[in-house]
Structure 1
Amino acid sequence: MSGSTISVVIADDQRMVRAGLRMVVETEPDMTVVGEASDGVEAVALVRRLRPDVVLMDIAMPRQDGLAATRALLTDAHPPRVIVLTTFDTDENLYNALRAGASGFLLKVSSPEHLITAIRVVADGEALLDPAITTRVISAFAGRPGPTPPRELAELTPRETDVLRLLARGLSNAEIAAHLTVGEATVKTHVARVLMKLDLRDRVQAVVYAYESGLVRAGST
């Protein structure tokens, strides 16, 4: 995050939506909107020029949709954190947003408070993945044939594997700590090691990985 102010770019093809998002963001003294884009192509060019901390990315936009724009931006050497916004709360949108590499997924009907919290969470290097979202991820993977576990899983210690399983269920660090009867700092260390060993960017990617690898199956606990 650059300095003490969180810089934000808003990408949405509807001017009124952009105006509303800007109004919400700029009520916060530690946030500023540095640019707006009306389609995915414009968003990619703008973000690469302005290098914001966080991008609020609509899915349905002309020329290039938000998912393609997100995938393009996350190939950069120093990618921004992306929160995908949509009016469509569907498994397909959720799955595609997480696979594209988004750090968060919010409905446009979410409260202003939820949006501000989401921006702060992802700007701080975390991912916004609450239990409701995790449930949808599980549903998206339900019924898929079990893959052969990737070799990288063998690099994890038994405790790190336990942490990944619990993380995939949507548990917070505090909840994982309580479940394993260890300190929260210990869990943070385990999570960091899991991400490093599996070459994953954040908790969202870890959840997707856990299901795609077959480590966790839909309906398992």
Structure 2
Amino acid sequence: MDKMQSTPACGTDAARAGRRGRRLSPEARQQQLLDCAIQACAQISVDRIGHGDIAKLAHVSTATVFNYFPTRTALIEAVLGEITALVEGLFDQFTSMPNFDALPPAQQFLGLAATYNNMIATQPQAIKAFLNWSVTFNPDVRPQYLAFQDRVLSRLTEALPAIVRSEQDARIIYGAANMFATMRIDGASEDVLTGFIARLSDAFLPH
């Protein structure tokens, strides 16, 4: 497994650019603010972040954040859309492996685990934001999470039909994936992480 990569604080490059007199394009600024919003969700929670939190991380004025995300609803929807797209991309990347359909179930399962492990390593702030979202019960954002969860369960079932034979199987693997991400972020050893995947694989692979 790859070693966890650190993610530089969002807004750092933009702040340096500002000190040198260069301005970000509107597209680049919007992406920077969205990255900072994800970092804020990772540090606080999806239902508690505000425009001021993003402005502080991005080293811009709060008014600038409002220029790109006029309401808090627009800001939250953009963050959740980014997280959703990231996870959907994980499944797209996983199922596009060479000869995926012909691979034995064990290789398919381990391939999904490796793909997710790499995402945790390269996108730790987004994964932390996702984990915070998963335990947020604010009625303003909980329905979006439940819809997202249903989509992930469906993608799991479609991608691993030889392993995921029921909704219960999908939910167990989904919950285990969240636990794995938490363990990885908390600094669990490679032996522990590898053993976790091996035990999960033994439990679900056909015998």
Higher relative contact order (CA 8 A, sep 6+): 2
Q: TM-score range by the shorter chain?
A: 0.3 to 0.5
Structure that is richer in helix per residue: 2
Normalising by structure 1, we get a TM-score of 0.31
Normalising by structure 2, we get a TM-score of 0.32
User: Over alpha carbons, which structure has the higher Rg?
Assistant: 2
